[in-house]
Amino acid sequence: MGTGTGKTRLLGGRYQLTSPMGRDGVGIMWRAHDSRLRRNVAIKEIQPHFRDHGADLEEARRRALREARSAGRLSHPAVISVHDLLEEGGRLWIVMELLEALTLKETVRHLGHLPVHWAAWIGFQLLSGLRHAHGAGVLHRDINPGNILLTGDRVVLSDFGIAALSGEASASTTVPIGCAPAYTAPERLRGRAATPAADLWSFGACLYFAVEGRSPYPESGSLAVLSTAMSRNPEPPAKAGPLWTVLEGLLRRDPAARVSAGQAARLLSEILRLEGVAVAPPQLPAARFPAGPFTS
């Protein structure tokens, strides 16, 4: 459905598409207006992959349902809110909250790297949402700097398109197409099943990227080359300072040896305390960014 069609009728009888916001591996994100509740929203138009026989509509449907159901069962400031799921015009549409935000990837590419206290604060907030997801039985499976959103007062984990609910067949040993290999846990690249520990490795790789300005392993090359690189420990960061303790614990190749989410939260809260940044207890989200947010 093009922009012109979006202007002439409403999706689901209520959502008016206004302009495209961007594209990722599975579809187009639109800015839209909910005429029923009179609020602006974001809508992801899921576009099917094309196989030899044509568009893979069933795979697109499964992915859309998985994303909506995974994010829809969560309610946390650090997790994107999903409002609705539609199937119309041969496409699937996921309606979610509209955030005026930059991704962590965009922010770091612009600034070079983030100061230790900013990276720690972002990590603390993101980890709070990740712990909430894991507690609800949701594995994200594709945490990377491109789907971490930074607003004026929130850190938000988005794109649950390849998330898996505990016990579902989708929690397979196959690394889904579209994953960011440089942020995928070593055991996942070797074909092992997704686990909370694998999400924590990806989380640690994003923290490393935030404070260093690069991923812990090369971001280019085939999965085979990357898997070989991951047989070695990451190069120790030069800018992480006290964050290295957290990064080293999260980026261990053996998932059984990694620090837990609770341990990582306590370490991050202690770093922030020493940096003079007040945060809520590790089990609760903090209320706002420290003074002078870099998103202003």
Question: Active-site residue numbers?
Answer: 142
Given a contact cutoff of 8 angstroms between Cβ atoms, the answer to whether 175 and 141 are in contact is no
- Nearest Cα neighbor of 104 from 117, 116, 121, 122 is 122
Residues 212, 68: Cα–Cα separation, whole Å: 33
- Percentages (nearest 5) of helix, strand, coil residues in the chain: 35, 20, 45
Nearest-angstrom CA–CA distance, 22 and 63:
19
**Is 294 buried (19+), middle (13-18) or exposed (0-12) by CB count in 10 A?**
middle
Q: Of 234, 213, 16, 10, which is closest to residue 110 (Cα–Cα)?
A: 213
Three-state DSSP string of 72-129 = HCCCCCCECCEEEEEEECCEEEEEEECCCCEEHHHHHHHHCCCCHHHHHHHHHHHHHH
